[in-house]
Amino acid sequence: MPEGPDETVVVIGAGMGGLAAAIRLAAAGLRVSIVEARQSPGGKLRQVPAGPAWLDAGPTVLTMRWVFDDLLSVCGTSLADEISLTRATTLARHVWRGGQSLDLFADVAESRRAIADFAGRREGEGFSRFAADSARIFTLLKDTFIDATRPNPLSLSARIGLMRPGALLALRPFSTLWSALSTYFADERLRQLFGRYATYCGSSPFDAPATLMLVAHVEQAGVWIVEGGMQALALRLAEIAEGLGVTFHYGERVSAILKDSAGQSVAGVRCASGRVLPASEVIFNGDAAALPGLLGRPAARPPAPPSLSALVACTLTAPEPGPLAHHTVHFSDDYRGEFEAIFKRGEPPADPTVYLCAPDRTAAGARRADAAADTPERLYALMNMPANGDRHSYDESEIDRCLSAMESRLSANGSALRFDRSRMTVTAPDGYSRLFPATGGALYGMASHGWAASFRRPGARTGLKGLYLAGGSIHPGPGVPMAALSGKIAAASLMADRRSDGPSSRVAISGGMPMRSATAAPLP
């Protein structure tokens, strides 16, 4: 179709979902502009200073490499051709009180041996069953849910096969992750370890569905370390998008999504500077909670509690001879109490589990060859927090208490690490609330609590013609590869609607009010 100025697609936000959508649209020949409030791409893939050094302050793990190979195939390239990757043979180190330590490996048999040595033969056998079942769940959901348009329970059942009740039951939709783990592991430390996968989508293992077992298989299929940090992935994707003709407008915050005179279709966006960008379609790559404000509506009550927030400290530390790998998790003594503090009382846990990423270490924990042994090393430290940043300000004394609580847990677990507060950048829930408006600091959209949580996430299509959604709060969910898949789904939906341009795929009009199609998600 002929393209004039109004045929440009505007993408709001240069996060992973927005970049993925823009690349796919531009590769298909559409004119695309990305409007980004900050001065660089990446969204949550950002870096901050720690003294003279810089390090990632957002996601630190790259999985599901096939998502990015699929994305870049439309440009005739692959992820390995564009950035430097190292596959981690050690997935993570896990540490408990007194220095009890367990490494998980990319090789399932090696992990089984490690677990058997750590907790006994029966726990190793339990891991074998767990690994097989997590792979089965992932296989069932990959094409029917993860890499597909947003289903409802009935359509998901149809995709899997209504005549396959065994397959549906294998998903354990009505069991919590914690209760399911007790059928594999008697050792509570192992339930902690694998229950932590619920936090990958900002949820409690005591309330999240057992379906999240699939994360175990995702990690077994490959954890990758990106040379230069995770932001290097966003920077390279932005360069690829520019090479396809995508225009970036950095330092421009969108203040409104514009509609046509009838209020039935998207007409463009207005920036806080007053600049107007006309568009026939808009992809909003931001948290769904922020969308009503851009449409001139009051914020809607979220359909579920917000996900976890975090306190993240990026700092320098003296090289530690102790149990520090590239990814290290120090578990608290009372895992249930930790999540009750966050989700029920809305307060920082007194005894937090602490996740550490040491970018100057190899996966197994050795100092990188290019890192001098006697120089300070960069450290990313995270503890889970309530998403109350829109109503609670974290002052210096409260942040210091959280840092001290993390140091106490590290000490109890046999680590001598201490944070250098003079060379540190800390982001608390109120900081995340400012970075990502309308979230309260929630980093994963809504919490995935209960069997229906995944079906409550908005899909790509909305009730307004020409408006599409992408990002970690949108189907299929949070995480770098999932956000990229949301961009793929948004771009595919947009192009399909351009081809059909009919009421069944866009918006039907009844009594002058837009009515959602069967595939459209409600506007938040």
Residue 33 reports pLDDT greater than 50: yes
Instruction: Decide which of 382, 409, 435 is a domain's last residue.
Output: 435
Is residue 390 domain-resident?
yes
**Per-residue model confidence (pLDDT) at position 504:** 36
Average pLDDT for 360-379: 82
Is residue 272 domain-resident?
yes
345 and 263, same structural domain?
A: no
Residue 140 sits in which domain range? 107-220
The Cα 157–Cα 457 span in angstroms is: 18
> Is the C-alpha dihedral spanning 272, 273, 274, 278 positive or negative?
negative
**Per-residue model confidence (pLDDT) at position 160:** 53
pLDDT tens digits, 88-100? 999 999 999 999 9
pLDDT tens digits, 120-140? 999 999 999 999 999 998 888
277 and 317, same structural domain?
A: no
The Cα 94–Cα 190 span in angstroms is: 10
Provide the pLDDT confidence category of residue 510 given band limits of 50, 70 and 90. Answer: very low
**Per-residue model confidence (pLDDT) at position 205:** 97
Is residue 114 domain-resident?
yes
Provide the pLDDT confidence category of residue 4 given band limits of 50, 70 and 90. Answer: very low
Residue 466's CATH number: 3.50.50.60
CB 471 within 8 A of CB 478: no
419 and 314, same structural domain?
A: yes
CB 296 within 8 A of CB 25: no
pLDDT tens digits, 404-450? 999 999 999 999 998 989 999 999 999 999 999 999 999 999 999 98
Instruction: Decide which of 220, 242, 258 is a domain's last residue.
Output: 220
Instruction: Decide which of 195, 220, 245 is a domain's last residue.
Output: 220
Residue 142: name the closest of 104, 119, 180, 171 by CA: 171
Q: Tell me the pTM.
A: 0.91
Is residue 19 domain-resident?
yes
Is residue 70 domain-resident?
no
252 and 159, same structural domain?
A: no
